[in-house]
Chains A and B, each alone.
Chain A
Amino acid sequence: MSPASLGTLELATLLTVVRLRDKAYGLAIKRDLAARTGRDYSVGALYTTLQRLEDKGLLTSSHSEPLPVRGGRSRRHFTLTGAGARALRQAERHAASIWGGVGKTLRPKLA
């Protein structure tokens, strides 16, 4: 998977899935994304992204046991695949590469 083919929301979603580990289901991912990026993505946009990442083989999903409440539903949990992990590492290297040599330039000069 080429890092260039990962969109911003896709990359952020993959990282959120990694961060949330076994608590990575739709609503939790949405809340985490909102807290970290400051953007309130719609549920539809998030699930479309999750489904696309699954289609690409970067994520896999499974349904949990029903919640222990009346009429409790089972949540769909997402897990990073090996391909997903490689795509993230590649994206990190790609980002580091294109940021290389820029740090000093952007650092503010001290008087």
Chain B
Amino acid sequence: MSTRTFGEPVKRNEDRRLLTGQALFIDDIELPGMLHVAFLRSQVAHAKIVSIDVSSALKRSGVVAAFVAGDLGDYWQQGPLLVPPPPIAGIVFHQRTQVPLAKDKVRHVGEPLVIVIAESRYIAEDALDDIDVELEPLPAVVDLEKGLAHGSALVHDDVGSNVSAHVRQTKGNYAAAAAKADQIIKRRFLYEHGISSPIETRGVVAQWDKRANQMTIWDTTQAPVFVRNGLAGMLGLNERQVRVIAPFVGGGFGPKIMMFYPEEVLLPWVSMKLNRPVKWIEDRLEHFFATTHERGQIHDAEIALTRDGRILGIKDVFLHDGGAYDPYGLTVPINSQCTLLGPYVVPNYDSTFTQVFTNLPTVTPYRGAGRQHGVFVMERLLDFAARELKIDPAEIRRKNLIPPEAFPYKNEIIYQDFQPLEYDSGNYEPVLDMALEAIGYKAFREEQVAARLQGRHIGIGLACYVEGTGIGPYEGAKVQVQSNGKVSVATGIGTQGQGHFTVFAQIAADQLGVAVGDVDVVTGDTDQFYWGAGTFASRGAVVAGNAVNEASKVVRKKALKLASDLFECAEEDLVIEDGKVSIVGVPGKFVKLGDLARQANPMRGAVQPGTEPGLESTQYFGPKMGATANGVHAMIIEMDPRTFDLKILKYVVVHDCGTVINPMILAGQIHGGVAQGIGNAFYEKLVFDDQGQLLNASLADYLLPTALEVPRMELGHTVTTSPLNPMGIKGAGEAGAIPGGPLFAQAIEDALDLKGRGVELLEIPLSPSRLFELTRNAQR
């Protein structure tokens, strides 16, 4: 395999359309006769629905229809369970999934009650004010511990409690390990992740063509194939009658793979009912309620160690806020549970969680998908242990790293792909060393002392993590050489900025000896590729990329075979490059790939039985389990000791995601992840009141980091190839976002010498005000 572009920072094929404003995003779709949708959403978090009267809305000029749950008849059903509970002994799981329009009860602010269809979004919003809704408010379940207490209001009455799930996983025997420990550190941690808040919100356009008997749905989904399958089933159509297209999508980050959102379920139904195309574009206010969140966990965790800092075991009991419904099963808390173990040898582990129903929007994965929470707990426990045992924080980590000869490393407990957690490959110590070197760890203590003499308070943070990536089930790709010599690649996953149009092109280009710019990639169109799972869990490049590679290899083989027949020579004597197959050493004797493709699709004549036409192949790739990437982040900050204002002076990431296809695109993924990690740690906080009302539902008050909050980042990387796929690659999409929390906690404690003042930072997010409150009663 030639490696002309693999590993190179090839510039992106998709840029021109995006830079010139010519890329099609969902709200760009204009169809003749298209109507516009707005939803009347619940303003209270928990209530019985007494009555809904849409009659006045229907009288408004420009309003075409308005539907409530009862109007949907049999179409109204609870959504499917997307991720069943993993096969863990003793698991408790109560499936309660979302519905297209609330019936009987509303369970979170923003849950849709009525869908209004009108000539314009402006008129549809006018009509919302015409609708009379009578709700009988109920007490809202917001606090996790209160929600589990006897006598709490119930989100789902028929469950009998607010327990969505209860899971315990163990490895070894923690109790026995703790009994032998020299040191036990026990703390309660609070970790809240935020919302994805991509710059493009969600949207759905549905067009039912009665005469063609065809439904076309444009959807900002990360998983068009599953959306197609599910909606076809719900609508009573054959899969072949439904085409789902994910156009250019302005950022996904996880919540755009949640399905079946009420809007996804309703727009096609409405289109069929009215026989007109319909469009719904989520506005920013809706996004705070209508798109899924990730939120918080409360951990009561303890770590048992020897006096020289070796981990003997960890015990953790945590509560996870699952929101009003649980269509995504246990993915997020299982990730927390598994990722807590990190890159460390943890011989004994006892982890229990309860996923709690709350009257808040549903929680599904958002970049990191629960890993942040686990990493925060582990890294903080190690920091406090280091303090007690008087060991340097970097050294306590080094001491416990899984050694390179221990791979594949079995962690035994079940991971989100239902397989026992196993790290395929890794070499962790060099990553730590590179990060320490890059941040200037050794020199830092002196610099800190010197800075203090100038009245400056600087601090350092360090965090290690692993990231399970590239999980199954599978993806597929079709690669085809066209008669003009260009190559077409189609795969079922969607793209939200990750550079698939370039990365997959590089893979095909290298196999087929063509220029990257001559490879045209289609993603996210179910008519172009029928099968697949979707873009999530840092798996796109790994799984779909490998499928592209396999299909490209087959096409390469076909091309060589055809050319060898043509030239009557051995395949070994041929070379493919610059879009041509030629005989080695005889460049004048060549055939263009496009001509070969044409010859492979004759208009007349006979072919050998069993021949497939054309130069194309469809191949699938399914890894037997996920590949484990890892990284270390280090950061130096400066704090104003009076205002608690924070400035990042230096930020380092060293990362191992196996073989790298395009280092430029990889760096971009890390940069973006780090920005979200910074937001999560210090700026973004969802502020709910005790009635489940979100008090900061706007971008003015939900604070995304800007170019002034995100520093320049220095990246390094090492490579341990994955044995789980032929290209040796691991995923990288979420890595940047994972360790921000513990990094900030450590660095702030260091800058303000909180240890000396008896203050520990046990929660994320933090803010200047919160730091003031936490430290005000401490010794100076």
A-B interaction: no
Report B's interface with A, CB cutoff 8 A.
none
